[in-house]
Structure 1
Amino acid sequence: MWNSTSFIIISIMKKSRTFMEAQKRFKMMQDLRRDLHMHPELGMQEHRTADIIARHLEKLDMEVRGGVAGTGVVGLLKGHNNGKTVALRADIDALPMEDKKPVSYASSIPGVAHSCGHDAHTAILLGAADILSSLKHEIEGSIKFIFQPSEDTLPGGALPMIEAGVLEKPTVEAIFSLHLNSHFQEGFAAAKSGYASTSSSTFSLTLQGRGGHVAMPRQVVDPIMMAGTVISVTQSILPKKIDPGDPLIFAYGSVHGGSAPNIIPDKVTLTGSIRAGSPEKLDEIIQLFKDISEKTADLYGGECFIDFTRGYPSIYNDPELIEIWKKAASAVVGEERVLLLNHVLTTGDDVSYFHKKVPGVYWHLGIRNEKRGYNHPLHSPNFDFNEEVLVYGAAIQVQAVIDYLKFGTHK
């Protein structure tokens, strides 16, 4: 059962109505989370997960649509009067990795684990759906519950769901999503207005030279020297193209070339990743990288070939919705535990595609608790958290929906 002494926050704040409603559903959310945690499914393979979600929503007397973009599920809750439509979204997929936690609810599927918290996101959203369904006689408007597959596997599940019409009939006017985050202390809620995550791309650069014997340097075009120059110049110049405080990650992940100590190879291939604070800045860095690579290859008398694979674009949090979310979160956890960030986080999420279509807020639910050993980062085989935070997640999402339908002005 819920341990009210687990968080200091509970002893010093006045409990909101939404918190108390979420608290009543703690055991339900915990059971759901543990079930999903023990039976994780990879992106676009979440058939069991989707079935559990659909059956839960159907019990709440919602319009339920399954098989959306493969394994997605959407529930529609209509209030007693017409009004705006707001959405809550959760990702439902697991990761291709081992679960090494010594707990009774560890993954039962070898090589698959919920180490990014998507089991919690799903349980929180189902808890929120349960609460809002019980309050539908007070709701003026509609709420969509979007359970999205395959966030952790490119190209992601958000775009296919959008293409399947999840933001239409009725038209969604705002969307709220959350993510567990071990960077923030347990029971805190954090978000950034404006661009809130990086835009990313991976690359593969092949530098083509002319191989030969190391003893005959005039007869070769050395791609190893080209690669060394490109690495040195990009690491020296690119950081200077970013304003102080703006995020930039430009990292090489592999260097492949050569087969013997006395042979200059024909080519060298570099792979790596780029992350920048906005789509426009990412475009700028990619162009600079292409220019450096081409000019370097030309200087040595070689050629270069570059392939880019775009990741998810930056998440943009709507400033007006951030204010609504801030007040909602403050009502649940207290104003002192709501953090408005002034820096972009270097992680990404394909919720950004939803935000390109409608105003949205993507926020972080803190789970770090050093004393209890909950300090492992996302994607760690030992990732876990105090499940009592499920109550905070559900309560804040519900409060944000209620406040938006009352006070939001997006049309």
Structure 2
Amino acid sequence: MSQTSNQFARIEDFEDGAAKLVETRRHLHAHPELSFEEVETAAYVAERLQGWGYEVTRNVGGLGVVGRLKQGEGGRSIAIRADMDALPIQEATRLPYASKAKGKMHACGHDGHTTMLLGAAEYLARTRHFNGTVNLIFQPAEEAGRGSGAQAMIADGLFERFPCDAIFGLHNHPGAPAGTFLMRPGPLMAAADTATITITGRGGHASRPHLTVDPIVVAANMVMTLQTIVSRNVNPTETAVVTVGTIHGGTASNVIPESAEITVSIRSFSRDVRETLERRVRDIATSIAEAHGASVSIDYERGYPVVINSEQETAFATAVVQELVGEDNVGVCPMIPGSEDFAYFLERKPGCFLRLGNGENSAILHSSKYDFNDDSLTTGAAMWARLAERFLSS
């Protein structure tokens, strides 16, 4: 092992505390709280940070917690974020530490994300092997969609109150071996938008369709034509997804209804493609409705932006994880069509969002049988501690 590898935090430094990390993670898993309801989780985090000597600010952007620790005279500062919220899913794991809250569970691993950052927090406070300021951000409501926790914390002055030179975050990655990392500069996770298209026609008896404007027929035409957007309007070297997720209309086979509704999930990895997709969805819906003599209203909701990792910070984070686990355990992450509100932070600050393996046999995210892999806890905690130390080295 090189001198540099020994100079900063190592996985071995966390092995004595591994059992405590597991205990913490399983406590959080058993007591999940939904977006903007993380009262007990936020209190649990804040109390521990205060006990370790952090300057703690509660209720940032609602229930967000920020722990600030300054060491030495260094002028640089780093921010590291973990998300705290759970999902409205009934757990089906039958684990001894399964959720005690009916209809709620940590099906995305935020219990593990929070635990790893707490592990790093304790280590950094105890060793203080850095020169500058560490800002640890425990964010509510990553799963909220509209008006997420990242947006709320930014609106509450997060970066003005807790300045940083760069920000880093992490998500577990089912399918990759536990303790391995996946990295990617540039676009990593998709922007996620939703279109709700309401078609208004003229209802009537199914036996006299010539006296009606059938919104079901209009909707069917829209569904098929929307599928041409990616194949005919997006450069083949780009990636995009247009999926019609719901179609609703009518109540009886012998009645042509007045209206029908379809909802569309739209995902993209660049701002230009995102604009193209919205324009074409609107154009297609409007023109098809008009061609059939119907009217249409379109509620187009912009969701989370593209997660775009900055080149310099990604190169830095890649070097850190390679030092920690070896180059053979660091791979290139494919672009992920899922979305993540860490994108809002990266619109304001340079930074990097990493992926940490959750095991090759892990259940998928948002599954009722998902569980965060405790074997990754010491690796993740050591990585955060090492990254902070390296970023704030003298």
TM-score above 0.5: yes
Percentage identity across aligned positions? Answer: 33
Shift of 1:217: 3.2
Structure 2 residue 265 is matched with structure 1 residue 273: yes
TM-aligned CA deviation for residue 139 of structure 1: 1.4
The CA deviation at 1:245 is: 4.6
Q: Aligned equivalents of 1:366 and 1:116: distance in 2?
A: 13
**Pairwise CA RMSD of aligned residues?**
1.8
Gaps of 5+ in 1: 1-12
Q: Which amino acid aligns with 2:238?
A: D
* Aligned counterpart, 2:373: 386
312-321 or 167-176: bigger deviation: 167-176
Is 2:184 aligned against 1:197? no
1:10-409 aligned at under 5 Å gives the runs: 17-136=9-128, 138-154=129-145, 155-341=147-333, 343-370=334-361, 375-406=362-393
In structure 1, distance between residues paired with 2:229 and 2:35: 38
Letter in 1 for 2:355: H
Total equivalences in the alignment: 389
Q: Higher mean Cα deviation, 17-26 or 50-59?
A: 17-26
Task: Return the offset for 1:279.
Answer: 3.2
Q: State the shift of 1:383 in Å.
A: 0.7
Give unpaired runs (5+ residues) of structure 2.
none
Aligned CA distance change for structure 1 residues 365 and 31 (closer, same or farther; 3 Å): same
* Compared CA separation, residues 15 and 39, structure 1 to 2 (3 A): farther
User: Greater shift after overlay, 397-406 or 291-300?
Assistant: 397-406
Give the Cα separation in 2 of the matches to 1:14 and 1:58.
29
Offset from partner CA, 1:336-395 (integer Å, 9 cap, x none): 111123x4201111111111111111111001243xxxx201111111243121111111
Q: Provide the rounded CA distance (Å) in 1 between the counterparts of 2:31 and 2:7.
A: 34
Instruction: Point out the more displaced range, 90-99 or 263-272.
Output: 263-272
Instruction: Tell me if structure 2 keeps the 8 A contact 1:86–1:143.
Output: yes
Task: State the distance in 1 between where 2:174 and 2:51 align.
Answer: 33
Once the 2 structures are TM-superposed, how far is the Cα of residue 15 of structure 1 from its aligned partner?
Answer: 11
Q: Does the 8 Å CA contact 1:198/1:247 hold for their aligned counterparts? A: no
By how many angstroms is 1:215 displaced?
3.2
AA at the equivalent of 2:320:
A
Q: Aligned partners of 1:277 and 1:200: how far apart in 2?
A: 9
Deviation at 1:318, TM superposition (A): 0.7
**Distance across 2 between alignment mates of 1:170 and 1:252:** 41
Aligned partner of 2:356: which letter? L
- State the Cα deviation string for residues 159-207 of structure 1 (Å, max 9, x = none): 1111222223452110111111103222210121111111111121111
Distance 1:386 1:230 in 2: 43
Q: Distance in 1 between matches of 2:202 and 2:89?
A: 41
User: Are 1:368 and 1:385, in contact at CA under 8 Å, matched by a contact in 2?
Assistant: no
Distance 2:136 2:100 in 1: 28
Which string of whole-angstrom CA distances, capped at 9 and with x for unpartnered residues, describes residues 231-258 of structure 1?
Answer: 1111134333223353222111211112
Of the structure 1 ranges 305-314 and 243-252, higher mean CA displacement relative to structure 2 is found in 243-252
> Counterpart amino acid of 1:379?
H
Q: Distance in 1 between matches of 2:138 and 2:370?
A: 22
